[in-house]
C-alpha cells in the first residue's frame, strides 16, 4: 500500500471523491501543513495554525496509480483559486498536493505543468509541498458525506461545488 495527501477545500468533499475510486483502500480526513501539534477543527478553522483541511489516501498501486489520483484531484478542484475552494475561503482551504517522496513530487509537478501548458486556466495556483505530520480530524468529520448525507448534499449545492466543477471541467470531472 502507498499513501498520498491532498488538500482541496472542504475535506468532506475530497474524501467523497477518493472514496469512490477502485483501488483506494481508505480515506481519512484531517489536517496537515501547519506547525500546531494535534490541532482541533476549531483551531484550524481560525486560519491561524497553518494547517489545511486534507485527506490521507491509502491506495493499492497495483489497482490505481498515483497519476489517476492526481487526475481525480485536479478534476475536483479549482486550480485557479489559491485562496480556498468554492465557498470555503481562507488559508485552511488552500489547494495543495503534498508529496511523500521524490517520485510523487515529480509526478505532481508533471501533472501541474501539463495543466499549465493546456492553458485551460490563466494561472494554476495549486501548490506542491512536502508532506508533514497528518493529524486525524475528529470522528464526526470522518465519512461525513455518508453519515450526514442530507447536510452534505445541501453543503455541495449551497457552495455550488458541482456547478462550478461542471463549468470548469465540463462533464470530465468524476
Instruction: Give the residue numbers marked as catalytic.
Output: 10
56: its cell numbers: 490521507
Cell numbers 492553458 correspond to: 119
CA dist 167 and 174 (Å) reads: 13
**Beta-bridge partners for 84:** 89
Cα distance between residue 68 and residue 62, in whole Å: 12
Amino acid at each position: 500500500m502507498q499513501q498520498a495527501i491532498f488538500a482541496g477545500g472542504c475535506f468532506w468533499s475530497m474524501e467523497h471523491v477518493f472514496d469512490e475510486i477502485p483501488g483506494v483502500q481508505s480515506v481519512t480526513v484531517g489536517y496537515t501543513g501547519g506547525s500546531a501539534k494535534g490541532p482541533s477543527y476549531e483551531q484550524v478553522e481560525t486560519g491561524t495554525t497553518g494547517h489545511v483541511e486534507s485527506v490521507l489516501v491509502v491506495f493499492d498501486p497495483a489497482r490505481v496509480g498515483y497519476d489517476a489520483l492526481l487526475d481525480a484531484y485536479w478534476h475536483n478542484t479549482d486550480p485557479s483559486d489559491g485562496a480556498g475552494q468554492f465557498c470555503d475561503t481562507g488559508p485552511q482551504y488552500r489547494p495543495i498536493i503534498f508529496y511523500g517522496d521524490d517520485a510523487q513530487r515529480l509526478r505532481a509537478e508533471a501533472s501541474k505543468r501539463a495543466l499549465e501548458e493546456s492553458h485551460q486556466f490563466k494561472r494554476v495556483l495549486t501548490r506542491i509541498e512536502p508532506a508533514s505530520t497528518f493529524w486525524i480530524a475528529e470522528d464526526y468529520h470522518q465519512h461525513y458525506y455518508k453519515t450526514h448525507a442530507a447536510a452534505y448534499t445541501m453543503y455541495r449545492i449551497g457552495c455550488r461545488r458541482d456547478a462550478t466543477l461542471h463549468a470548469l471541467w465540463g462533464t470530465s470531472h468524476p
